[in-house]
Amino acid sequence: MFKKLCLTAAMVAAAATSFAGDLVINGSTTVLPVVQKATEAFAKTNPDVHIALSGGGSGNGVKALIDGLTNIAMSSRDIKASEVKLAEQRGVKPYRTAVAVDAIVPVVNNANTVKDLTQEQLKAVFEGKIRNWKEVGGKDAPIVVVSRDSSSGTFETWESLVMKGARVTPRALLQTSNGTVVQTVAKNVNAIGYIGIGYLDKQTKPLTLGGKVATAEAAKTKEWPLSRELYFFTNGAPNGDAKAFTDFVVSPAGQKIVQETGFVPLK
């Protein structure tokens, strides 16, 4: 069910700086907290724009765009060639707008003594080839792999940047959001998962990769190897309410919200 973030029913004409209508936004749970805060700020100057916002994952957001069910699809990965082909068959022309930068960060339980992994070790852990923490300098305990489900753009980016053609172990505990990954890892001393940098908090411990630390600057410069952009997809270049909201998110005020949410501004 869509969460109504603005239920104003103003009857007066919108001011010159405002836009009236209904805007449906759907998709990535990674991008979701940025958009939640952005809609609250946007509503203050555009009270007549009714925004319906929901998560569900990048794949579901792109599918909703292709099916004509959303105005803006939030996505933490680029659109696939197969999705573009299907969109063309439906008369939809996906248009991509980058709205933020993100770093995917491997995290472990706070009690875990392991601090750093190489990318090769990380891949082997998620592939199921390394199964005990003692194999990477930790205690003698089985590794519990926590991953996102297949509808997640974060999962697909992880497959591309980390797994490189290998499959995540079928023993992995699949989660529907960054938040549930955090909760699962925080509750299991032997768990390892991965989340967007905006979800980092004291509940889990981020790992370094080959000595590199996940920071906003490292994500922006791509020094952090698991960096990516976060996107809005629209049917053609955004117009009307979708353009107004997209323009707000990429504006200095919107990018300040990106930073306050824990993600990385475009500039």
Q: How does pLDDT run across 148-203, given as a tens digit for each residue?
A: 999 899 999 999 999 999 999 999 999 999 999 999 999 999 999 999 999 999 99
Task: Evaluate whether 3-101+230-260 and 102-220 have a shared fold.
Answer: yes
Domain boundaries, the chain: 3-101+230-260, 102-220
Low-confidence ranges of the chain (pLDDT < 70): 1-21
What sections of the chain are H helices per DSSP?
Answer: 32-45, 58-66, 81-89, 119-127, 153-158, 178-187, 216-220, 240-250, 252-260
- The span from the CA of 182 to the CA of 202, in Å, is 10
- The span from the CA of 247 to the CA of 42, in Å, is 10
The pTM (predicted TM-score) of the whole model is: 0.85
Span 102-220: which CATH code? 3.40.190.10
Closest CA to 61 of 51, 70, 50: 70
The whole-number pLDDT of residue 10 equals: 31
- The span from the CA of 211 to the CA of 88, in Å, is 44
Cβ proximity of 249 and 243 under 8 Å:
no
- The span from the CA of 237 to the CA of 148, in Å, is 30
Q: 3-101+230-260: what fold? A: D-Maltodextrin-Binding Protein; domain 2 (3.40.190)
